[in-house]
Structure 1
Amino acid sequence: KFAPMFKKLLNNKDKLIELTKTPLNENCSAVVLKKLPEKLGNPGRFLIPCDVTGLDNCLALADLGASINLMPLSIWKKLRLPTLNDTKMVLELADRTISKPTGVAKNVFVKVGKFYFPANFVILDFVADPRVPLILGQPFLSTAHALIDVFEGEITLRHDD
């Protein structure tokens, strides 16, 4: 009863083998053939050497994830910047704590190389790393036309002239 079916299958085995071949798309092929790029480590952080009047040769952390520029209250006092503007802003920190900024310092000039960039800083009472007291977020990076090359570990700031 099954003999004719097996005979038919054996006579058409080339067709069966052909039907069992499943083409892989190029992503799957890359995985199978181990042609994926080498996974690289964390490039670290992007630090920008900068000068702010009264705070020479400091480093600022370039943070693409920050929607504000941040300055510790102690640095603001040291710089003797003009009066702070009030703010109703409330910050949720990475550890989920809520913090109320002291105010906003507007039009603080940050010198990078030979160029000056204006920036608004949210002033917050926190203990900063003395080597890297400022955080420059998206507003500054946008103003400075920042180009970030993560692979090379380079950040390029440009000034409109």
Structure 2
Amino acid sequence: MSERNKAAIDNKVMVISKEMRVRLPFRETKSMIPLLKEHVEKVIAGMPTLHEASDILQQACNMKTYKKFPTKLTDPGRFALSCTIGDYLFKQSLVDTGDSVNMMPLSESQRLGLIFMQPTAISLTMAHGSTQRPLERLVNIPILVGGSYAFVDFLVLNLDDEGTYLILGHPYLATTKASINMPNGKIKLRFEKAVMSFYVETVDKLPTMDGKTFMVADSEAIDVV
């Protein structure tokens, strides 16, 4: 301790001592000074330092903030819908909020007999970083979901690996004014005269489309308003 600080403390003690009123004999008071000094030192030693007090305050603030956090949930998986095009039923059409287009494998377009296509200059970047150029574009294809139709444009890709499916991306979700409730595993589609809700149950099979992995789910309409 510097001389300057020591002098300041001595002055402070003198001021306090003048304000104290002791109702004890002087001799008894004098004998208690060492005990009082020891007691004060113990009290001071037990007090947290400025750094420790700051840590305690920070922990208290963190705990208070942590209680406001939402409950952590697991991955609910990918959403899929059953849809019909012509006479063909697609039980697992993937609903993907990460795709800006609707996609259909070339093999499926040939099976449906959809040969009237339009050329397209669009190129797609796949999940693993490669670039795919769609062969053609199908325009205004009516697809049936839960009893209601919607016109959909598909980009046709030559992806004939096992486990490829239709992908319904942003355009279809926007057309049907879709809303997805991730915690409850529920998707709601809005058509002109109907609002349909679907619950999604995750299954074990994990199909891929040209290296892009999806969680496939079975869906069943639960209500029509």
- State the TM-score, normalizing by the size of structure 1: 0.80
TM-superposed CA distance for 1:81, in Å, is 1.4
Secondary structure of the structure 2 residue equivalent to 1:87: coil
User: Which residue of the other structure, out of 38, 46, 63, is the alignment partner of 2:79?
Assistant: 46
Alignment of 1:1-161 (within 5 A): 1=3, 2-6=5-9, 8=12, 29-31=64-66, 34=67, 36-127=69-160, 129-130=162-163, 133-161=165-193
| Distance (whole Å) between structure 2 residues aligned to residue 129 and residue 145 of structure 1 | 31
TM-superposed CA distance for 1:35, in Å, is 5.2
Q: Is the 8 A contact 2:135 2:156 kept in 1?
A: yes
Q: Is the 8 A contact 2:82 2:89 kept in 1?
A: no
Greater fraction helix: 2
| Distance (whole Å) between structure 1 residues aligned to residue 180 and residue 136 of structure 2 | 30
| Distance (whole Å) between structure 2 residues aligned to residue 124 and residue 108 of structure 1 | 16
User: C-alpha root-mean-square deviation of aligned residues, in Å?
Assistant: 3.0
Q: Which amino acid aligns with 1:53?
A: G
Gaps of 5+ in 1: none
Q: Which amino acid aligns with 1:84?
A: M
TM-superposed CA distance for 1:53, in Å, is 1.3
Distance 1:27-1:68 versus aligned 2 partners, 3 A rule: farther
Deviations 1:28-72, CA, capped at 9 Å, x for gaps: 6222xx553331110000111111113214221111110000000
Distance 1:128-1:148 versus aligned 2 partners, 3 A rule: farther
Secondary structure of the structure 2 residue equivalent to 1:157: strand
- State the TM-score, normalizing by the size of structure 2: 0.59
Q: Which amino acid aligns with 1:29?
A: K
TM-superposed CA distance for 1:24, in Å, is 8.6
Work out which structure has the larger RCO, using CA pairs closer than 8 Å and 6 or more positions apart in sequence. Answer: 1
Q: How many percent of aligned residue pairs carry the same amino acid?
A: 30
Structure index of larger Rg: 2
Distance 1:27-1:152 versus aligned 2 partners, 3 A rule: farther
Secondary structure of the structure 2 residue equivalent to 1:117: strand
| Distance (whole Å) between structure 2 residues aligned to residue 128 and residue 142 of structure 1 | 29
| Distance (whole Å) between structure 2 residues aligned to residue 62 and residue 4 of structure 1 | 78
